[in-house]
């Protein structure tokens, strides 16, 4: 009986943990407005810098 109980418990354990499906969701949001603002500020700075020299 002890042997039979071990087999049954082992089968229950493996059936519960053997085919577990995990669902994950990934959301990636990219914000390019910050990069555009920085590039615009750098361009404006360089334009102002080189305008004064001429």
- List per-residue pLDDT tens for the chain, 54 residues long: 788 899 999 888 887 776 666 677 777 776 667 777 788 888 888 888 888 555
Q: How far apart are CA 44 and CA 15, in angstroms?
A: 65
SS3 content of the chain, % helix, strand, coil (to 5): 70, 0, 30
Q: What is the pLDDT of residue 26?
A: 73
């Amino acid at each position: 009986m002890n042997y039979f109980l071990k087999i049954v418990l082992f089968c229950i354990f493996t059936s519960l943990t053997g085919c577990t499906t995990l669902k994950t969701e990934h959301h990636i949001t990219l914000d390019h407005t910050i990069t555009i603002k920085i590039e615009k500020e750098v361009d404006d700075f360089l334009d102002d810098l080189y305008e004064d020299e001429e």
